[in-house]
Structure 1
Amino acid sequence: MQYQLSNDSAFQLVEITLQQNEEIKIERGSMVYHTGDVELQGKMNSNGASGLGGLIKAVGRGMASGESMFMTTAIGQRDGAKISLGPALPGKIMELTTSPANNWRLNTGSFLAADEGVNYNMKRQELGKAIFAGTGGLFIMETTGEGSLLIASYGDIVEMDVTDHLIVDNGNVLAWSSSLDYKLEIASGMFGFKSGEGIVNHFSGQGKVLVQTRNLKAMADSLIPYMPTGGSK
């Protein structure tokens, strides 16, 4: 996947150059512009299942995780076709490489684009912990295959090497190596009331964790006192 970032600010666009018949997967709704020689196709994200069973699986995951039941594929109609993508939130765009020995797990909202060699499955999390975590659902994205993957953050991206244990607020977790074990935990006390924190990801083993420096849930919570109530005019 050949691409170029617009700048190094918090409001990046990525422009991807496609060759004829080259396909990439992109986050639904992320297209900003293309040069008129890119075909966009919506395909049902059924994780390999077809027919009615695939549709039911896709709808079920969408209801549980907030994931769209459709994915968008961009296909170059000639050499040098260009498509630009913009993340939903201000932050950074970063490339990850995947292989059978080096795959990744992505938190909700991290995925931006992947080349045709990269596929993904939606991996079910523990039911109760996923609900209480406020992650947006019961699934995370787990990559398979080999190729390049673009992720987008809210804020900057900090790369951390894990050699034993690492605990990160769930809202700040962007992606992590599939070689790591992880579990969702309450930070402290009853729902984190003692520490002021909520749900954290506890990683163990050896691998990498990518942390985004801003937390969307924390930002949303900070706006609640300023939101109009039902009786406001």
Structure 2
Amino acid sequence: MADNKMKYTIDSNMQFPMIEIALETGEFAYIQRGSMIYHNAAVTLTSELNAKGNGIGKLFKAAGRAMTSGESVFITKAVSSNDNGIIALAPSTPGQVMPVDLGSKQYRLNDGAFLALDGSAQYTMERQSVGKAFFGGQGGLFVMTTNGVGTLLVNAFGSIKKIELQSQEITIDNAHVVAWSDTLDYNIHLENGFVQSIGTGEGVVNTFRGTGEIYVQSLNIETFANIMKNYIVTDGKSSSSGNPLGGLFDALT
């Protein structure tokens, strides 16, 4: 009998993680769009509007949330028709995948951290302040917040480390934040003001206060993207000026 408690395996023999989720009859899991590698005949993928409600109102809610948060209008749902359902997933960026138990603890997620969630749990998009929306990477005016009982799979760019706070405070580069307890107060801001942020190279940071957990990733995708810009060829020319591989890119193009 389906209990919607996620049964999964993470292949540790692979350089980059691949996750297999086993589903029984009627069980389902929500998954990140585009994360499916394969599934067997028992599993069907469907799309649902990413909002609560019914009819045209539900469509407008989903569309409005997509415009203000950058989140998709639809969510992907994997449903099994028998007890042998299998679906395999992989994150969109190379890095660690970690399970997080939901129940007495709930979490907020940064953009790109969500990989899968079992059918016993849910997530909502919680409105945040304009200041947090302006500075942060957590979905603009909304931030993904979990609720219910179940298993959440989060993915990161690089490795994941858990930081535990006990009535403490810590400041973390916002691009390294994966997820954090909903019991924590958080404030997204510039490190030491605009001028100092330019000088130190540390831009938007997130200061957490209280008691709870924070998951951080070892790599910064924004920094990585800026490095890769130097090697991207556009209009027959590379933007690799000033780096040792520039001549090679120019010669090849």
User: Under TM normalisation by the shorter chain, which class is it?
Assistant: over 0.9
**What does 1:101-120 correspond to in 2, within 5 Å?**
101-120=104-123
SS of alignment partner, residue 202 of structure 1:
strand
> Take 1:49 and 1:41, find their aligned partners in 2: how far apart are those partners?
18
Alignment of 1:1-233 (within 5 A): 1-7=6-12, 10-46=15-51, 48-99=52-103, 101-135=104-138, 137-163=140-166, 164-190=168-194, 192-228=197-233, 232=237
- Which deviations, in whole Å up to 9, do the C-alpha atoms of 1:161-199 show, x marking residues without a partner? 112101111110000111111110111231611321111
CA contact (8 A) 1:169 1:201 kept: yes
Structure 1 distance, partners of 2:58, 2:40, is: 33
Paired with 2:213 and 2:147, the residues of 1 have a C-alpha distance of 17
Say how many residue pairs are matched: 231
In the alignment, the residues of structure 2 paired with residue 86 and residue 176 of structure 1 have an alpha-carbon distance, to the nearest angstrom, of: 22
Could you say what secondary structure the match of 2:65 adopts? helix
SS in structure 2 at match of 1:217: helix
Aligned-pair distance for 1:26? Answer: 0.8
Compute the displacement of 1:85 (Å). Answer: 0.5
User: Max radius of gyration: which structure?
Assistant: 2
Alignment TM-score, normalising by the size of structure 2: 0.86
2:228 and 2:137 map into 1 onto residues whose CA distance is 17
Q: CA RMSD in A?
A: 1.8
Residues 135 and 188, structure 2, Cα contact 8 Å, conserved in 1: no
Query: How far off is 1:63 after superposition?
Result: 1.9
Partner SS state of residue 199, structure 2: coil
Separation in 1, partners of 2:146, 2:113? 12
Give how far 1:53 is off: 2.1
Q: Deviations over 1:100-125 (max 9, x none)?
A: x3111111111111111111111122
Amino acid at match of 1:120: Y
Report if the CA contact (8 A) 1:129-1:184 is conserved: yes
The amino acid across from 1:84 in the alignment is A
- 1:230, distance to aligned residue in structure 2 (A): 5.5
- State the percentage of identical aligned residues: 40
Amino acid aligned to 1:124? R
1:142 partner letter? T
Looking at structure 1, the residues matched to 218 and 105 of structure 2 have their Cα atoms a distance apart, in angstroms, of 24
Gaps of at least 5 residues in structure 1 are none
Contact 2:181 2:214 in 1 (8 A): yes
Output the amino acid matched with 1:174.
Answer: V
Aligned-partner residue type, residue 225 of structure 1: N
Distance 1:20 1:229, change over 3 A: closer
Structure 2 vs 1, CA of residues 106 and 219 (structure 1 numbering), >3 Å: closer, same or farther? same
- What is the CA–CA distance in structure 1 between the aligned matches of 2:105 and 2:123, rounded to whole Å? 13
Partner SS for 2:99: strand
Distance 1:41 1:180 in 2: 34
TM value normalised by structure 1: 0.93
